[in-house]
A and B are shown apart, each in its own frame.
Chain A
Amino acid sequence: MTIDKVAAVIAKTVNCNVEDIRPDTKLASLGIDSLKAITVLFELEEAFDVEIPNEVISSIVTVDDIMTKLHTAHS
């Protein structure tokens, strides 16, 4: 999974521009609150067929954090 693919899922889920999504982008800056965050994670889990544990969700702040959790879940 690449940042481009992850960004595409995020952008589609929250209706934002994919160009605005970089690794250091904070989810809050995209208007992603706690409810939208779990929707984004759901769509990412579906797209990449992975399972992100509940325990790590609260530590996700940036897009890079999501990439890390996805890679961990995938390995």
Chain B
Amino acid sequence: MSRRVMITGLGAVSGLGLNAHAFWDKLKAGQTAIKPLNPPIEGVKISIGATVPDFDPESYFTADELSILDRFSQLAVIAAREAVDDAGLVPGEETLTDAAAIIGSGCGGKHTDEDTYDQLYKQQKSRAHPLTIPKGMPSAAASMVSMHLGIKGPAFALASACASGLHAIIQGMTMIQAGMIDVALVGASDAPFTYGLLKSWDALRVASSDTCRPFCFDRSGLVLGEGAGMLVLESEEHAQARDARIYAELIGCGMTSDAGHITRPDVTGITNAMTNALQHAGIQPEQVDYINAHGTGTQANDETETNAIKQVFGDHASKLAVSSTKAMHGHALGASSALELIATTLAIYHGIIPPTVNFTTADEACDLDYVPNEAREQDINYALTNSFAFGGLNAVIALKKHN
């Protein structure tokens, strides 16, 4: 048994705004959310990022609710509410009650953990706040999404660093294909702008002090972002029975691990992930019109990803469009992969390819069509979205336009 899986609801919180409409409007306009951190964080080299703008948690949650919501859970619940509402589902009704909630995260409740550690280590307090564990645990967002939306089916968190979102979406997708569930709320959330985490990213020496320039000769590294991307997935029969709007179809997935280096990407692992996704989808490389690349803007990723695309697609590599939307919404760790699937979905739905912004000088080692700086109107029948995580955990999803 393998059932077809449709995307029927979208929710996006990111540096580009607090909903999917703002996300898409700014993506297609080529606007970047990357800006100086305000206020700057003293003692941290990282001074730029794509933080969620004008975010007032109290306009979304009561004080009582906020007492148990880490920032990554707040972003997850806001995006989940939007996705559910967008899909026309109603909390309390059977469809949502029986659904799954599978929510990835690259870093979990770091704000909560670090607040407590600051109290204990720096301020020499003798007591930890009693809500530290339930608020900060990596599965807190999954729990909060299920509680706020009344989802009583399978609910859990999934962690694979920057691929967490795609792995969570693949989990929901395959559960629907297998007939275990009809509806899944899937995605990821991350809120990495904490002192300790930024210092740790500083130490990795992969963060740009300039901006994110994926695939450019003068690319200087990644720029962190925060946010949450959530999707409602539904079996075709279920979606059609309730006459749901279908954005696109998930037709295949590929997952591999490099079993090599903890941070350096591996062209074989990435190549195999894309090949597996095409095979699972039952399509030929020549049918793919667009790839939403992992495209972090680091030296290592962008060249390796380009080489992998060439290996998988051969002559077709130079004909298909490849863009990285990270230059606009930043690298929101696990949430990025979910946000990028949403970007790919909307690209297919609207027939517009979001650009790779901040593109300046081409790199001989990165010589594909990266849709530089301006969005392109183009019909997309098939697309891939790539996510490759630290630790060599690779995930690729293939999508198809719904006719």
Tell me the A residues contacting B by CB distance below 8 Å: 14-15, 35, 38-39, 41-42, 45-46
Contacts and interface: CB of A to CB of B under 8 A. Distances in A.
Given A38-B130, A39-B131, 12 more contacts: A14-B64, A15-B63, A15-B64, A35-B68, A35-B130, A35-B131, A35-B134, A39-B67, A39-B130, A41-B130, A42-B129, A46-B127
A16 to B, nearest CB: 10
A45 B127 contact: yes
A13 to B, nearest CB: 9
Interface string B55-80: 00000000110011000000000000
Nearest to A42: B130
A35 B67 CA distance: 11
Contacts of B68: 35
Contacts of A42: 127, 129-130
A contacts with B: majority SS: helix
A35 B64 CA distance: 12
Contacts of B131: 35, 39
Interface of B: 63-64, 67-68, 127, 129-131, 134
A40 B67 CA distance: 12
A57 B86 CA distance: 45
18 contacts: A14-B64, A15-B63, A15-B64, A35-B68, A35-B130, A35-B131, A35-B134, A38-B130, A39-B67, A39-B129, A39-B130, A39-B131, A41-B130, A42-B127, A42-B129, A42-B130, A45-B127, A46-B127
Nearest to B62: A15
Contacts of A14: 64
A38 B68 CA distance: 13
B143 to A, nearest CB: 13
Contacts of B67: 39
Contacts of A38: 130
A41 B127 CA distance: 11
B255 to A, nearest CB: 37
B70 to A, nearest CB: 15
A39 B68 CA distance: 11
Nearest to B67: A39
Contacts of A46: 127
A19 B46 CA distance: 48
Contacts of B129: 39, 42
B67 to A, nearest CB: 7
Q: Nearest 3 CB-CB pairs, A to B?
A: A38-B130, A42-B130, A39-B130
Most buried by A among B63, B130, B131: B130
